[in-house]
A and B are shown apart, each in its own frame.
Chain A
Amino acid sequence: MSARILLVEDDEKLGRQIVEHLTEAGLEASWLRDGGTALGLTPQNYALLILDLMLPGAHGLDVLKRWRSQCDVPVLVLSAKQDAVVKVRALELGADDYMTKPFWPEELVARVQARLRRPVLARADRVECGPIVLDVAARRVFVETAEIELTKVEFELLHALALRPGAAIARSWLVQNVLPPERDGTERTLDVHVSRLRKKLGSAGARLGTVWGIGYKLRSEDAT
């Protein structure tokens, strides 16, 4: 995955570090050091913007306001302040998320990737997760072009997990939303359905993982 990311950060060390980590994660990052220049650039040229609030030249919130008047590119705000008002103001002005210093590079990369991934959620009629493809309208499921037969509950289960690939879904939620309400389903019943579904998925069944303390998830990436 390669996407252009712009970082606006005046601190030399932190800026270099962030760029380094983003590049390592396979992201293409450019770096601006002052707010004045950031005010004038075209935000549409980037997939995501990372903005520090305390900047020379122009305040980060002003930069954010200017960018928001031009487009909806996701903006991740960096803040060293524990002041709730500043964060709320940033969110109100259209920031997608904020990070409070100090943070781990890993955390930042995860957040950036989460932001870049988000639009996938919108797809509804056809859901893909690795080799698994769901034709929602026809209620058919294919694993690497081979169709597999699923019961109604198994299809709903797979659909719910595939809609949010990689995300852990709570057992209780699945019991309430996937199991047929007329049959008093329990988490045990759910576990039985999951293990049957896993078998039917064959080689792709390994993607359907158990999440400790939570429930299940469907991995979009190949297990490493």
Chain B
Amino acid sequence: MKLATRLALTLLLTALPLTAGLVFLRERAARSAELAALVDYARGRMESGGRDVCEEDPEFFQDPPARPLADRGFGRAGMPRDPLGLGPGVPRSPRGREARLDPHPPRAGGPPIPGSTRFELWAYNPDMRSDNPSAPVLDAALRAELEGGARLASSAFVLPERGPFARREGFQAAVRMTWETGPCAIVLARRIDIPGVGATAFDRFGVPALLALVLVLVTLFAFLPVVRRVRELTTGVRRSAASGYVEVVGARGSDELSELGRAFDSAGAQVRAQIEQLERRERSLRAFVENTTHDVMLPLTVLQGHLVALERRSAASEVSEPARVREAQEEAHYLGALLENLGAAARLEADELPIARYRMSLNRLVERAALRQTTIARGKGVDLVHALPGEEVEVLADVTLFERAISNLVHNAVRYGREGGHVAVVLEVDGDEFVVRVLDDGPGVSDEELARLHERSYRTEAARRRHPTGTGLGLSIAKEICERHGFGFQLRRAEVGGLEAILRGPRARPRDEDSSAT
């Protein structure tokens, strides 16, 4: 259901009973005031001479009289303006409707004046019978109340219809007089309403209904702008969502609705940021796949070339060339290392959350990294040796990344070392620290390159212009892996010539927790 409809319905459902209740209360108050007025009227009229007239001639008593008053001798002075000489005796009801009334009550037999009110008095003996045959019979409700000992009783009544404007409603009160005996012990005072044109319905319901209507209209007028702004907000939100949260809703003002608009904008900004992050990641992933493909194709091509040459020679039963086989092996080995490095670079580039650290044996790791290069080293005639301390050295590190770092250093030393040269991998203990040294007697790197390897941005640059013969990628990845672990990484010219890489970091203490514990 729309807000406006719901509001209108709610208002209506509230206003209707409210109006009805107000009308009811007003009616009740009016009724009791009217009753009091009728009783006062009856008592006043009877006590100031009415009783005498009544008891004198009870068969004919009725006020105003049915026959000319002069004939009946009822109220001689100033008649017929005021038959009892009581002055303005017409009761005033709180409704103030009597202002319109004729101050001269019409005769009982006279034609009724539309929209007017007529008052009548009738007398009864204590047995509730009237000596006047034309007096109305007291209805059962009144009788029952009076018989119960009440001083007065009241009821509403309807007179039988007689022609147009004939339906007459009225209100009557039967009052016990103070004298309590005689034919005029009980007096029935009646107010008869002669229906007028467009009168009573409005009189009775008009004001509360008007009030309720005004209330409904005012509320609707106050609320419609709110509905309009909610609609605007909805349109704004739809537009923003359709634009991928680039457009803002841009709510003005400082109320709750504007706050809602701003809250949406900030939520949209977050969504936008996440989308951008995902897009960045996707771009980087795509770039990674493209670069990887490119980098893998080159050594693969070389490898294929070697394989074809080997196949031709063996088909021709020629002796194959060991150098070619070695080169093929080297390319295959390089391919594996390259893929692992690209994987590591992708992980480092994606700025993955803190490196997961696992407790592991550095002895095994160094041994693995060294043995991994044995085949290539042998093929090149490089003497690859490694040394481990007698004791077990443990470290907290990402197994894959840290092994990659050390493998890169060893692979680099073997690959770019001179033929017939040496490469040594040494794990040592220095107090609470481990030291991994990889040294060779190859040509080493130039001063320029050594300096560049210590620049932070170098890896990205090296990655951009990767080349199978460049030393950049492997070394700089090793460096970054160490940095991310908080380990020391140093490259220097070895005393024996060539390059020496030194990794240094804390040994894992027995109590240190690793990532698999969490």
Contacts and interface: CB of A to CB of B under 8 A. Distances in A.
Contacts of A89: 516
B368 A83 contact: no
A168 B423 CA distance: 13
Interface stretch (B141-149, B211-219, B240-248, B395-403): B395-403
B166 to A, nearest CB: 101
A68 interface: no
A97 B385 contact: no
Interface stretch (B5-13, B220-228, B371-379): B371-379
Contacts of A164: 390
25 contacts: A85-B356, A85-B516, A88-B358, A88-B516, A89-B516, A91-B360, A92-B516, A99-B368, A102-B332, A102-B336, A104-B333, A104-B375, A111-B371, A167-B388, A168-B385, A170-B387, A172-B428, A173-B428, A212-B383, A212-B422, A212-B424, A213-B423, A213-B424, A213-B441, A214-B386
Contacts of B360: 88, 91
A217 to B, nearest CB: 8
B374 A167 contact: no
A1 interface: no
Contact of A167 (B336, B387, B424): B387
Contact of A170 (B333, B340, B426): B426
Contacts of A168: 385-387, 424
B385 A214 contact: yes
Contacts, number: 86
A146 interface: no
A211 B387 contact: yes
A97 B398 contact: no
Contacts of A85: 356, 516
A87 B424 contact: no
Interface string A74-115: 000000001111011101100001010011101100110010
Nearest to A102: B336
B496 interface: yes
B426 A87 contact: no
B343 interface: yes
Contact of A82 (B343, B385, B426, B514): B343
Q: Which of A88, A89, A211 lies at the interface centre, i.e. has the most chain B CB atoms within 10 A of its CB?
A: A88
A213 B384 CA distance: 10
Interface of B: 332-333, 336, 340, 343, 356, 358, 360, 364, 367-368, 371-372, 374-375, 378, 383, 385-390, 398-401, 422-424, 426, 428, 439-441, 494, 496, 514, 516
Contacts of B358: 84, 88
B371 A110 contact: yes
A117 B385 CA distance: 18
A95 to B, nearest CB: 11
Contacts of B422: 212-213
Interface in A9-68: none
Given A84-B399, A91-B360, A114-B367, A213 B496 contact: yes
A173 B374 contact: no
Interface in A180-224: 211-215
Contacts of B375: 104, 106-107
Q: Looking at chain B's contact residues, is the secondary structure mostly helix, strand, loop, or mixed?
A: mixed
A126 to B, nearest CB: 18
Contacts of A82: 340, 343, 400
A5 interface: no
A129 B25 CA distance: 120
A110 B343 CA distance: 27
A73 interface: no
A153 interface: no
B223 to A, nearest CB: 59
A169 B387 contact: yes
B171 to A, nearest CB: 95
Given A87-B400, A88-B358, A211 B385 contact: yes
Contacts of A212: 383, 385, 422, 424, 441, 496
A173 B375 CA distance: 28
A212 B424 CA distance: 7
Contact of B424 (A91, A104, A169, A211): A211
B387 A215 contact: yes
B399 A107 contact: no
A107 B371 contact: yes
Contacts of B333: 104
A214 B399 contact: no
Given A107-B371, A168-B386, 15 more contacts: A82-B340, A84-B358, A84-B401, A87-B400, A88-B514, A89-B516, A97-B364, A99-B368, A104-B372, A167-B388, A170-B426, A170-B428, A172-B428, A212-B422, A214-B426
Q: Which of A87, A102, A164, A213 lies at the interface centre, i.e. has the most chain B CB atoms within 10 A of its CB?
A: A213
A7 interface: no
A104 to B, nearest CB: 4
B356 A84 contact: yes
Contact of B399 (A88, A99, A170): A88
B372 to A, nearest CB: 6
B369 to A, nearest CB: 11
Contacts of A102: 332, 336
B368 A97 contact: yes
Contacts of A6: none
A163 interface: yes
B458 to A, nearest CB: 24
Contacts of A84: 356, 358, 398-401
Contacts of A88: 358, 360, 399, 514, 516
6 tightest Cβ-Cβ pairs between the two chains A and B = A213-B424, A212-B422, A104-B375, A168-B387, A88-B358, A214-B387
A188 to B, nearest CB: 14
A128 B175 CA distance: 141
A56 B367 CA distance: 31
